[in-house]
Amino acid sequence: DTKRAAAEPGDTVALAKLDPVKTGDTVSSGKTPPAALAVTEPTPPVLAISIAATDRKDDVKLGQALARLHEEDPSLVVVQNAQTHDTVLWGQGEMHLRVASERLRDRFGIKLTSHPPGIGYQETIRKPITQRGRHKKQSGGHGQFGDVVLDIKPLPRGDGFKFTEKVVGGAVPRNYIGAVEEGVVDGLARGPLGFPVTDVQVTLTDGSYHSVDSSDLAFRTAARIGLNEGLPQCQPVLLEPIHVVEIVCPTDATAKINAILSARRGQILGFDTRDGWSGWDCVRAMMPEAEIGELIVELRSATAGAGSFTRTFDHMAEVTGRAADQIIAAHQHAA
């Protein structure tokens, strides 16, 4: 090892005892203001794994360790999947994620379990229906009573969920309508195929109540029952997320990339030469999220490590036939 009093541009040096210094900080002697340096953003991550502490008591420790790793290496990105509740670690490739996992184990003492990230499947309906939901329970003293009539109909793709009410004559008192909406949301959390339901409008049109036994809980339960009984009759259909993928690769590898995309259910939108990069192309395609997981591995193999890609969510699309059956069966088996 050689100690040096100064470093010139292009030198690689190691500095000790800089715990307060974070990646991206500018270090100076303090005698003169540091020169403004260009801020470089980390390359968007391309590969992910879902991770969890083997011992649940290490959950808090894992969160703190991941925050520290991201602070030191901003190209490691941690995302909490709201649908699957998984902790997803994103990185630049297999080696990057492997090293991060080893650091969590060796440096922070956390044993991990890992698996491929879950896909954000949803479901929707094709057919409208009117369905009654009724909850009645008597067990001494005050009972529980709620009764609702719901119009359930599909919405255009991407419209999400809408709740409306058209109750007349006080059939359902207004103070219970909020509870009905909550029950509808409960029922949409898991549809007949096992996934969250979207692109659906539910309208409360009628119902009845009991002056003593009705309550928020009773009407919330009645609405959930109505959804659970009505949705299977609405021709449910599976939806999968579709992304726009942009791949940058050497021109002599473009044919291989097109073949890889086609094999992964990709719909090629076109390709152009990359501006300012002689001998490089940019290929654009629509791809299901389920097919993107290991794409970077094949891409780097086909381009001798030179290719890269970015992706952007575009829309949800129907999955039918055998592919849908396999996805639903796998989801039910894992539940």
pLDDT value for 128: 98
CB–CB of 109/53 below 8 Å? no
51 or 30: which carries more pLDDT confidence? Answer: 51
- Mean pLDDT to the nearest integer, 32-60: 85
- pLDDT at 140 (0 to 100): 66
Q: Is the pLDDT of residue 1 over 70?
A: no
Q: Calculate the CA 102 to chain-centre distance.
A: 25
Lowest mean pLDDT among 117-126, 133-142, 237-246, 306-315: 133-142
Separation of alpha carbons 266 and 211, rounded Å: 58
Kindly report the CA angle at 153 between 147 and 156, in degrees rounded to 5? Answer: 150
The domain 240-318: what is its CATH number? 3.30.70.240
Averaged pLDDT of the chain:
92
Give the domain 123-234 fold.
Ribosomal Protein S5; domain 2 (3.30.230)
How far is the CA of 6 from the CAs of 64, 95, 327, in angstroms? 35, 34, 60
Q: What is the pLDDT of residue 43?
A: 83
Task: Domain ranges for the chain, please list them.
Answer: 47-115, 123-234, 240-318
Q: How far apart are CA 274 and CA 248, in angstroms?
A: 8
User: Tens of pLDDT along 178-236?
Assistant: 999 999 999 999 999 999 999 999 999 999 999 889 999 999 999 999 999 999 999 99
Q: Look at the domain 47-115 and name its fold.
A: Alpha-Beta Plaits (3.30.70)
- DSSP-assigned letters across all residues of 245-286: EEEEEEGGGHHHHHHHHHHTT-EEEEEEEPTT-TTEEEEEEE
> Fold identical between 47-115 and 123-234?
no
Q: What is the pLDDT of residue 231?
A: 98
Among residues 294, 299, 231, 288, the alpha carbon closest in space to that of 260 is found at: 299
Instruction: Determine what percent of the chain is predicted with pLDDT higher than 70.
Output: 98
Asked whether residue 23 carries a pLDDT value surpassing 90, the answer given is: no
pLDDT over 90 (residue 24): no
What lies within 8 Å, CB to CB, of 246 at 6+ separation is 282, 283, 284, 309, 310, 311
**pLDDT at res. 90:** 96
Are 89 and 51 within 8 A, CB to CB?
A: yes
The rounded distance, in Å, linking the Cα atoms of 47 and 296 is 7
Name the token pair of 307.
Answer: 């290719």
